[in-house]
């Protein structure tokens, strides 16, 4: 962890061009970097969400605990077959995800009907959607005023 903090401090010094005696917190803020411990926490949370969205038969599910196996057969070394004493000794990403995934409040369907090709928003309602391309240097107020007036007139 200290090596990551030192590396981030060097990166912040390089990005900002500040003196090496500058405080780390201020450097990170000016450089637009979040603290290392928060970045690691964010990455760990993403890993949990990623495992929760895996297909029911994905090979990684065979390594997880009983609640995450779904349709996958447990591997010989899976968390589902470990005793509580063994679970306490093993330190790995699989074990951490297995402990934290039960705290998720949302359910995920990796193959939801809405995600199939042909059933997406643009596929179903292409005649109702229109994308206006505009020149960023051009004043769009008259065009937008006309659209708002048209929308108000036609409920």
Look at residue 8 and tell me whether its pLDDT is greater than 80.
yes
Question: pLDDT tens-digit profile of 47-59?
Answer: 888 888 888 888 8
pTM over 0.85: no
Alpha-carbon distance of 67 to 82, in angstroms, equals 13
pLDDT value for 75: 82
Compute CA 31 distance to the chain's CA centroid, rounded to the nearest angstrom: 23
pLDDT tens digits along 27-44: 888 888 899 999 999 988
> How do the domains of the chain map onto residue ranges?
1-33, 123-153
């Amino acid at each position: 962890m200290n090596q990551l903090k030192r590396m981030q401090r060097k990166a912040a010094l390089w990005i900002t061009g500040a003196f090496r005696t500058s405080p780390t917190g201020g450097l990170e803020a000016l450089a637009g970097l979040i603290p290392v411990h928060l970045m690691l926490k964010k990455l760990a949370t993403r890993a949990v969400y990623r495992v929760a969205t895996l297909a029911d038969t994905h090979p990684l599910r065979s390594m997880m605990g009983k609640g995450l196996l779904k349709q996958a057969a447990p591997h010989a070394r899976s968390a589902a077959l470990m005793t509580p004493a063994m679970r306490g000794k093993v330190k790995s990403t699989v074990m951490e995800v297995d402990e934290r995934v039960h705290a998720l409040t949302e359910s995920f369907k990796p193959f939801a009907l809405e995600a199939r090709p042909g059933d997406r928003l643009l596929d179903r309602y292409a005649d109702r959607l229109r994308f206006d391309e505009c020149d960023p240097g051009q004043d769009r107020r008259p065009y937008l005023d006309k659209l708002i007036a048209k929308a108000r007139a036609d409920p």
